[in-house]
Amino acid sequence: MYDEHFQMLTHQRNRLGHLDYVLLEHNQCTARGTLDEHGHSRKHGSSSPSTLQFAASAPWPVME
């Protein structure tokens, strides 16, 4: 089992908190949530490693 989480920042490295996000795998929604006050997502699990896309309403988001 793989557990992953991410943090979203602006291009100026400021944290983006309290934003809603969606994770997509092959254009299908696999998870959704809200970033905490530091811009971190909750943990998301999967049975195998995969490439995910994300969608969020934010100015210049950068994922770490």
**What share of the chain has pLDDT > 90, as a percent?**
3
Q: Is 51 strand, coil or helix?
A: coil
How many domains does the structure of the chain reveal?
1
Residue 51 belongs to a domain:
yes
Helix (H) or strand (E) holding 56: strand 53-56
Query: Could you give the angle at the alpha carbon of 33 between the alpha carbons of 30 and 34, nearest 5°?
Result: 155
> Taking the model in full, what pTM does it have?
0.64
| CA–CA dist 62, 48 (Å, integer) | 24
Kindly state the average pLDDT of the residues 21-37: 85
Residue 64 belongs to a domain:
no
Residue 29 belongs to a domain:
yes
Task: Report CA dihedral (3, 53, 64, 48) to the nearest 10 degrees.
Answer: 30
| Residue with the two structure tokens 């971190």 | 40
Kindly state the average pLDDT of the residues 47-58: 68
State yes or no: pLDDT of 12 exceeds 60. yes
